[in-house]
Protein backbone atom coordinates (compact mmCIF):
# COMPACT_ATOMS: atom_id res chain seq x y z
CA UNK A 1 0.00 0.00 0.00
CA UNK A 2 1.27 3.47 -0.90
CA UNK A 3 2.42 5.37 2.18
CA UNK A 4 4.16 8.38 0.69
CA UNK A 5 3.16 12.02 0.90
CA UNK A 6 2.27 12.86 -2.71
CA UNK A 7 -0.90 14.93 -2.44
CA UNK A 8 -2.48 13.58 -5.63
CA UNK A 9 -1.79 9.97 -4.66
CA UNK A 10 -3.24 10.55 -1.19
CA UNK A 11 -6.34 12.18 -2.67
CA UNK A 12 -6.76 9.19 -4.99
CA UNK A 13 -6.47 6.82 -2.02
CA UNK A 14 -9.23 8.73 -0.24
CA UNK A 15 -11.43 8.71 -3.38
CA UNK A 16 -11.00 4.94 -3.67
CA UNK A 17 -11.73 4.38 0.04
CA UNK A 18 -14.82 6.61 -0.11
CA UNK A 19 -16.02 4.79 -3.22
CA UNK A 20 -15.60 1.42 -1.52
CA UNK A 21 -17.64 2.54 1.49
CA UNK A 22 -20.36 3.86 -0.79
CA UNK A 23 -20.49 0.58 -2.72
CA UNK A 24 -20.50 -1.49 0.49
CA UNK A 25 -23.74 0.15 1.57
CA UNK A 26 -25.68 -1.92 -0.95
CA UNK A 27 -23.22 -4.43 -2.45
CA UNK A 28 -21.41 -7.27 -0.65
CA UNK A 29 -17.63 -6.91 -0.65
CA UNK A 30 -17.17 -10.13 -2.62
CA UNK A 31 -19.22 -8.66 -5.48
CA UNK A 32 -17.23 -5.41 -5.74
CA UNK A 33 -14.60 -5.78 -8.42
CA UNK A 34 -11.53 -3.57 -8.69
CA UNK A 35 -12.89 -2.38 -12.05
CA UNK A 36 -16.19 -1.31 -10.50
CA UNK A 37 -14.40 0.31 -7.57
CA UNK A 38 -12.13 2.27 -9.93
CA UNK A 39 -15.08 3.39 -12.03
CA UNK A 40 -16.90 4.63 -8.89
CA UNK A 41 -13.76 6.41 -7.65
CA UNK A 42 -12.90 7.92 -11.03
CA UNK A 43 -9.41 6.39 -11.19
CA UNK A 44 -7.72 3.87 -13.45
CA UNK A 45 -6.89 0.29 -12.49
CA UNK A 46 -3.23 1.25 -12.86
CA UNK A 47 -3.71 3.99 -10.26
CA UNK A 48 -5.48 1.52 -7.97
CA UNK A 49 -2.65 -1.01 -8.15
CA UNK A 50 -0.04 1.74 -7.70
CA UNK A 51 -1.72 2.74 -4.43
CA UNK A 52 -3.08 -0.57 -3.10
CA UNK A 53 -2.21 -4.24 -3.33
CA UNK A 54 -5.78 -5.43 -2.79
CA UNK A 55 -9.31 -4.35 -1.95
CA UNK A 56 -8.58 -5.31 1.67
CA UNK A 57 -5.77 -2.73 1.68
CA UNK A 58 -8.39 -0.10 0.87
CA UNK A 59 -10.33 -1.14 3.98
CA UNK A 60 -7.18 -0.97 6.12
CA UNK A 61 -6.37 2.46 4.68
CA UNK A 62 -9.88 3.64 5.55
CA UNK A 63 -9.55 2.29 9.10
CA UNK A 64 -6.24 4.05 9.59
CA UNK A 65 -7.65 7.26 8.12
CA UNK A 66 -10.75 7.10 10.31
CA UNK A 67 -8.72 7.36 13.54
CA UNK A 68 -6.52 4.31 13.95
CA UNK A 69 -3.57 6.48 13.14
CA UNK A 70 -0.24 6.33 14.92
CA UNK A 71 -0.56 9.84 16.40
CA UNK A 72 -3.89 9.03 18.05
CA UNK A 73 -2.55 5.74 19.35
CA UNK A 74 0.65 7.39 20.58
CA UNK A 75 -1.26 10.04 22.55
CA UNK A 76 -3.75 7.47 23.92
CA UNK A 77 -0.97 5.24 25.24
CA UNK A 78 0.12 7.78 27.86
CA UNK A 79 -2.47 6.42 30.28
CA UNK A 80 -4.39 3.16 30.55
CA UNK A 81 -7.73 4.93 30.94
CA UNK A 82 -6.97 7.24 28.01
CA UNK A 83 -6.13 4.27 25.83
CA UNK A 84 -9.26 2.34 26.80
CA UNK A 85 -11.49 5.38 26.32
CA UNK A 86 -9.87 6.12 22.96
CA UNK A 87 -10.49 2.58 21.71
CA UNK A 88 -14.12 2.60 22.92
CA UNK A 89 -14.67 6.05 21.42
CA UNK A 90 -13.24 4.84 18.11
CA UNK A 91 -15.65 1.89 18.07
CA UNK A 92 -18.70 4.00 18.90
CA UNK A 93 -17.76 6.82 16.53
CA UNK A 94 -17.06 4.39 13.68
CA UNK A 95 -19.91 1.97 14.38
CA UNK A 96 -21.18 2.25 10.81
CA UNK A 97 -17.82 1.38 9.32
CA UNK A 98 -17.29 -1.49 11.76
CA UNK A 99 -20.78 -2.79 11.01
CA UNK A 100 -19.98 -2.84 7.29
CA UNK A 101 -16.79 -4.76 8.06
CA UNK A 102 -18.66 -7.23 10.25
CA UNK A 103 -21.39 -7.78 7.67
CA UNK A 104 -18.79 -8.39 4.95
CA UNK A 105 -16.54 -10.68 7.01
CA UNK A 106 -13.74 -8.10 7.01
CA UNK A 107 -13.05 -7.72 10.73
CA UNK A 108 -9.58 -9.14 10.03
CA UNK A 109 -8.83 -5.78 8.41
CA UNK A 110 -9.62 -4.06 11.72
CA UNK A 111 -7.23 -6.48 13.43
CA UNK A 112 -4.52 -5.80 10.82
CA UNK A 113 -4.81 -2.02 11.21
CA UNK A 114 -4.65 -2.30 15.01
CA UNK A 115 -1.70 -4.70 14.95
CA UNK A 116 0.27 -2.51 12.54
CA UNK A 117 -0.49 0.54 14.68
CA UNK A 118 0.81 -1.13 17.83
CA UNK A 119 3.93 -2.38 16.07
CA UNK A 120 4.69 1.03 14.54
CA UNK A 121 4.07 3.04 17.71
CA UNK A 122 7.16 3.61 19.82
CA UNK A 123 4.95 4.21 22.90
CA UNK A 124 3.48 0.71 22.67
CA UNK A 125 5.54 -1.46 24.99
CA UNK A 126 8.69 0.64 25.41
CA UNK A 127 11.54 -1.51 26.56
CA UNK A 128 9.96 -4.72 25.29
CA UNK A 129 11.94 -7.00 23.05
CA UNK A 130 10.78 -7.24 19.42
CA UNK A 131 9.30 -10.66 20.22
CA UNK A 132 7.39 -9.44 23.28
CA UNK A 133 6.13 -6.37 21.41
CA UNK A 134 4.76 -8.65 18.68
CA UNK A 135 2.91 -10.75 21.28
CA UNK A 136 1.58 -7.63 22.99
CA UNK A 137 0.43 -6.14 19.67
CA UNK A 138 -1.26 -9.40 18.70
CA UNK A 139 -2.99 -9.73 22.08
CA UNK A 140 -4.29 -6.15 22.09
CA UNK A 141 -5.32 -6.17 18.43
CA UNK A 142 -7.14 -9.49 18.93
CA UNK A 143 -8.88 -8.28 22.07
CA UNK A 144 -9.98 -5.01 20.50
CA UNK A 145 -11.16 -6.74 17.33
CA UNK A 146 -13.21 -9.18 19.40
CA UNK A 147 -14.74 -6.32 21.38
CA UNK A 148 -15.55 -4.42 18.17
CA UNK A 149 -17.09 -7.56 16.62
CA UNK A 150 -19.27 -8.19 19.68
CA UNK A 151 -20.19 -4.51 19.92
CA UNK A 152 -21.51 -4.31 16.35
CA UNK A 153 -23.01 -7.82 16.30
CA UNK A 154 -25.14 -6.87 19.31
CA UNK A 155 -26.37 -3.69 17.60
CA UNK A 156 -23.87 -1.19 19.00
CA UNK A 157 -26.02 -0.21 21.96
CA UNK A 158 -23.31 0.57 24.50
CA UNK A 159 -22.15 4.11 25.14
CA UNK A 160 -18.49 5.06 25.06
CA UNK A 161 -18.36 4.91 28.86
CA UNK A 162 -20.05 1.50 29.00
CA UNK A 163 -17.76 0.11 26.32
CA UNK A 164 -14.72 1.58 28.07
CA UNK A 165 -15.77 -0.20 31.27
CA UNK A 166 -16.26 -3.51 29.44
CA UNK A 167 -12.86 -3.29 27.74
CA UNK A 168 -11.22 -2.26 31.03
CA UNK A 169 -12.72 -5.29 32.80
CA UNK A 170 -11.49 -7.59 30.05
CA UNK A 171 -8.01 -6.10 29.94
CA UNK A 172 -7.67 -6.14 33.71
CA UNK A 173 -8.56 -9.81 33.80
CA UNK A 174 -11.77 -9.35 35.76
CA UNK A 175 -13.81 -11.41 33.30
CA UNK A 176 -11.07 -14.05 33.06
CA UNK A 177 -10.85 -14.31 36.86
CA UNK A 178 -14.61 -14.90 37.06
CA UNK A 179 -14.10 -18.02 34.92
CA UNK A 180 -11.59 -19.43 37.39
CA UNK A 181 -12.49 -18.23 40.90
CA UNK A 182 -10.01 -19.15 43.60
Report the share of the chain in percent with pLDDT over 70: 87
Question: Is residue 179 pLDDT above 70, yes or no?
Answer: no
Dihedral sign for Cα atoms in the order 28, 23, 59, 99: negative
| Confidence (pLDDT) at 69 | 46
Q: pLDDT category, 181, cuts 50, 70, 90?
A: low
pLDDT in tens, 3-30: 888 899 999 999 999 999 999 999 999 9
pLDDT in tens, 149-178: 999 999 999 999 999 999 998 888 876 666
Amino acid sequence: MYSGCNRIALESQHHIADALLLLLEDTPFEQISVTRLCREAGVSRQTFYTLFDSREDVVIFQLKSACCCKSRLHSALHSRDGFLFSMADYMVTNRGLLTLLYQNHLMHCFYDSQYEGFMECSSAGPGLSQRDQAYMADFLASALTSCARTYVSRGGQESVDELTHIIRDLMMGICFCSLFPT
